[in-house]
Structure 1
Amino acid sequence: MLTDFVRSNASEPHRIRTRQILKSHPELKKLIGQKNPNTIWVILACVSLMTGMAWLVRDQSWWVIIAAAWFIGAFPAHTLFVCIHEAAHNLIFRKPTANMWAAIFANLPTILPTALSFKNFHIKHHAFQGVHELDADLPDWYEAKLINNYAIGKALWLLFFPIFQAIRTLRMYELAVIDKWVLANILVQLVFDTLIVVLFGWKALAFMLLCLFFSVGLHPLGARWIQEHYLTLDPEQETYSYYGGLNSVNLNVGFHNEHHDFPSIPWNRLPEIKKSAPEYYDTLKFHTSYVRLFFRFLFDQEISLYSRIVRKERGRVTVADQSKPDLELVQSQAIPTGSVA
């Protein structure tokens, strides 16, 4: 049972593997920088579905609203989060401005204005994976100690995951998080939320908020956060993919090793990476069931929030490098070597 995070002296593994894969499979270079504008149709469909559901449940009993959010609404809400993730990497449209507006629109049914703040922090997660003061995906030390390794603590952590995630950003004092796009996100969201209350009522707004919390928290979909970087299958493998049926509705978000290796390749092309370079991915451990992982995380006391790799080494990546394509990064950065402590 871990009582602290796993310390590593190694650089994060993805730029190293990207270099190796591109050397063995140069044909993958043509996928880097591609866009998938069809993602906007997914956004439109999910926003319409969630808004329509909010109208349908506006006068229902609370148990109906909660059930509708958990069994149905969580899925389009999660898909919209994946679309926001795609926009954060500028993988929908060629112009960054268009991607930011797409993210703001995808954010609407999930009530809290998080899309542009997510972009600012998530790009740093790729550049500084495991560096505690720059990677908002890592739990805080107080968070891991508070939750411990018991089922009730982990269930509460999942239930309130968006709150814990927001608090983590307070430690990112090196990063500027308020800009005109974050303010635009807040303003547009406030207008939308007000319209929902005026036209549909408070229960409709509560339904949308519940969809957000369930889509990333106390729900099998919440197991995605455990799948991605928690040491669940191998104490030295830092990132895991999920190859299961929910990739079809979650826009291949389970292909997480592939995404970290090639963050400038859109979601519809991620399976091609694994197919083109099986010798690099078939040797890695992976998950096939969010339901199984969800219950294992809750009840396996050997898995806790400490089950993460942290590092002090930032390598030669700088905050300015966040916008460089994968190919440019691996060609320009010297990759230090090391081992897991």
Structure 2
Amino acid sequence: MVSPQPAKYPEIKSLMKPDPNLIWIIIMMVLTQLAAFYIVKDLDWKWVIFGAYAFGSCINHSMTLGIHEIAHNAAFGNCKAMWNRWFGMFANLPIGIPYSVSFKRYHMDHHRYLGADGVDVDIPTDFEGWFFCTAFRKFIWVILQPLFYAFRPLFINPKPITYLEVINTVAQVTFDILIYYFLGIKSLVYMLAASLLGLGLHPISGHFIAEHYMFLKGHETYSYYGPLNLLTFNVGYHNEHHDFPNIPGKSLPLVRKIAAE
């Protein structure tokens, strides 16, 4: 897909601005999960796990894509980049695992060097492609997808730790400890299970494979225009996103409408 030029479609340039609604959506999602943490603290374990998969996983997966939006400074704009970093740490809290700052660093490489070996850690390694080659092994790979996504950068393209990553980690660990202290182990397990289940074998997680699976040689990025975009900040509009990463997900359907090519 050839990227359309903003000069050809001046309307597209007007879409390159922050999405203030993103701030309130993220805040409401965090508050929703806090309420869920309180609700599950006295439930039977079977309902804790069921709630984590049926409800919490949807919120936490959606939150990771909200953090993706924040990584592109869609909340407060490029002129307030640090506000986006702090807000990303806030959005990170109900996920349970510190990653928002690191994601920002590696995700920019994904856009600059799409598919480049040793740089783009969004793409499975040669070992993953070699080992997970049967239907059963691929099934296991999908289940373990969040672990591969978390640890792949450490093996493929490790980066020096920054002070923001330290702050992100301290804030997240402190939050996790507070959840355990005030609400108990069930709330903590619900939070972590919602992230692991929601990013693994889950209907919403299909976009991880669909976005950059090379069905046709030379076509590295694909889009999805179905209803799950309502839960994922339009991440399905992936060709449009890679063409114009400065446009918030909310406006990507307009990009497709303006410049369908």
- TM-score for the superposition, normalised by structure 1: 0.73
Residue deviations 1:268-313 (CA, integer Å, cap 9, x gap): 11111000012x1xxxxxxxxxxxxxxxxxxxxxxxxxxxxxxxxx
User: In the TM superposition, what are the counterparts of 1:1-341 in structure 2 within 5 Å?
Assistant: 17-18=2-3, 20-32=4-16, 34-94=17-77, 95-150=80-135, 152-173=136-157, 176-232=159-215, 234-278=216-260, 280=261
Gaps of 5+ in 1: 1-12, 281-341
- In structure 2, give the amino acid aligned to 1:215: G
Q: Distance in 1 between matches of 2:6 and 2:21?
A: 27
Q: In the alignment, is the contact (CA less than 8 A) between 2:213 and 2:221 conserved in 1?
A: yes
- Taking a change above 3 Å as real, the CA distance of residues 177 and 37 of structure 1, as seen in their structure-2 partners, is farther
Give the number of the structure whose residues are more often helix, by fraction. 2
Contact 1:214/1:222 (CA < 8 Å) preserved in 2?
no
2 CA distance for matches of 1:98 and 1:81? Answer: 18
Q: How many positions carry a matched residue from both structures?
A: 259
Structure 2: how far apart are the matches of 1:61 and 1:161?
Answer: 28
Q: Segments of 4+ in structure 1 off by > 3 A?
A: none
Secondary structure of the residue aligned to 2:117 is: coil
Deviation at 1:134, TM superposition (A): 0.7
- Partners of 1:242 and 1:274 in 2: CA distance: 12
The alpha carbon displacement at 1:189 in A equals 0.2
Q: Identify the range of structure 1 (236-245 vs 122-131) with the bigger mean alpha-carbon deviation.
A: 236-245
CA contact (8 A) 1:21 1:277 kept: no
Q: How far did 1:30 drift?
A: 2.2
> Which amino acid in 2 is paired with 1:22?
P
- TM norm structure 2: 0.94
Q: Higher Cα Rg: structure 1 or 2?
A: 1
The CA RMSD over aligned residues, in Å, is 1.5
The worse-fitting range, judged by mean Cα deviation, of 249-258 and 111-120 is 249-258
Identity of aligned residues (%): 37
State the alpha-carbon separation in 2 of the partners of residues 148 and 189 from structure 1. Answer: 36
- Tell me which moved more, 103-112 or 157-166: 157-166
Preserved contact between residue 216 and residue 222 of structure 1 (Cα < 8 Å) = yes
Any gaps of 5 or more consecutive residues in structure 2? none
8 Å CA contact retained: 2:6, 2:13: yes
